[in-house]
Amino acid sequence: MRKEQIEPKAVIVIFGATGDLAKRKLYPSIHRLFENGQIGDDFAVVGVGRRPWTNEDLRDTVQNSIAKFEYKKDVKEFTSHFYYHPFDVTCSDSYRDLNELIEQLESTYQIPNNRMFYLAMAPEFFGTIAKFLKSEGVTSTNGWSRLVIEKPFGHDLASAKALNQEIREAFTEDQIYRIDHYLGKQMVQNIEVIRFANAIFEPLWTNRYISNIQITSSEDLGVEDRARYYEKSGALRDMVQNHILQMVALLAMEPPIKLNTEEIRSEKVKVLRALRPIQTDQIEQFFVRGQYDAGMIDEHQVKAYRDEQNVAEDSNTETFVAGKLLIDNFRWAGVPFYIRTGKRMKKKSTQIVVQFKDIPMNLYYGNGETMHPNLLVIHIQPDEGITLHLNARKLGGSTFAEPIKLDYCHNCEDGINTPEAYEKLILDCLHGDATNFAHWDEVALSWNFVDVISQYWENNKTLSPNYKAGSMGPKASDELLGRDGFHWWPI
């Protein structure tokens, strides 16, 4: 799928170089690429920020951010590729000075005018930065220019359209890389392989054989220091609009004609178009929201969401969402896709459970025992792997069956070095492979789906804490599946 397989040569410009994302994710990821030989010596990183740092300040920060990782190559050699540029995003002079610095680095490292701009900062500056990058000639090169944007991409469909229009005045769609770090996770990318490379699964991947699919993404952490953002977002916008719906699209898409960016995106868009819209009077039937109360996590007492710093005392923000999605196409008609995501839940876990339909007769379970369905469980985090739940004869000569598990753990084997999601996505962008980034059509369709729900919840400020920290969410979440005769499978 990649347009080039050689080591990429580029200047990487990180806006927000002094921020948390750069320190926790971007610097370690670039270091891993350097350590693994996936980028060579012909690269430079320009850190852009408001603080009056020097090159040495940035290099010390980078070295501290990778201190806990093992490395074989000279760390000073790595950090010597980093340069700091004090910056005012609203001042045209800053961009002209930036362009001069990039040109110097391209000459120093023999980089053919390839430039990657990573916006790791507040989204209200995205449009301004894009506009100035073009107007001041920073993107006018003989090489390529690519813009990487962190979520949130807008707050609703209207704001997303406005932001997209602003950015598209400076960059074409094929230059824009809207990052969703879930799409960089190994097992999310493995969904396609599990489906399309295994003859035992793909013929069964229809409403004839699957009874329901469940997607759970739970966190044991609270909002931590993100309360200001989270109060404006909530779980629906923070998780469902992007990460969850992207997984739904990968699970439900038709086999692409080819394994390239355009064909895979085309099939994902078809799924999002086929999502049955939720009408306002159906929201309480199809969706559940929750907010965590005080409780116990790992034998430690934790506070309620409303007691967190920078959270309103009467906050109507949901920290939990569960929903039932229906896809109105030939393959999935009648199969519910159940989703749930929340903070301060029992444990940190992201998993997908595909539950297959029962066989017609219960021949092998006696004494009133219920049949155990076949399950395919895709573990995304913290463990990565696959579990297949089957039925086999009990030991001891019995004619009855018992459930067994076939496990494959991707990150349990010695020597396995699972790439960090950001590491994978940065490399994809450097190679010009946009397969694992969100296209504008996907973003727009996702916002169109969730906007009705978020507007209804904003107009109905009736949410109170309704699940204890350390639980698996409000009881209404269990009832959502119970009405259809199903239950959530344990994480």
Q: Give the catalytic positions in this structure.
A: 243
Q: What is the phi-psi region of residue 478: left when phi exceeds 0, alpha when psi lies from -120 to 50, beta otherwise? A: alpha
* Backbone CA torsion sign across 380, 383, 384, 385: negative
Helix (H, G, I), strand (E, B) or coil at 52: coil
Amino acid at 266: S
Distance of CA 476 to the CA centre of its chain: 26
In angstroms, the Cα distances linking 401 to 180, 361, 391, 404, 481 are 43, 13, 6, 9, 26
Rounded CA separation 183/426 (Å): 12
Distance from C-alpha of 26 to C-alpha of 491, rounded to nearest angstrom: 29
* Amino acid symbol at 460: N
Distance between CA atoms of 63 and 93, rounded to whole angstroms? Answer: 30
**Could you tell me the strand order of the sheet in which 145-149 lies?**
82-86, 43-49, 10-15, 115-119, 145-149, 176-178
Please give the helix or strand (H or E) that residue 178 lies within, else none. strand 176-178
Structural contact between residues 111 and 44, judged by C-beta atoms closer than 8 angstroms? yes
Three-state DSSP at 243 gives helix
117/39 Cα distance (integer angstroms): 17
Q: Which of 343, 13, 337 is nearest to 147 (CA)?
A: 13
Q: What is the rounded distance in angstroms from the CA atom of residue 372 to the CA atom of residue 377?
A: 14
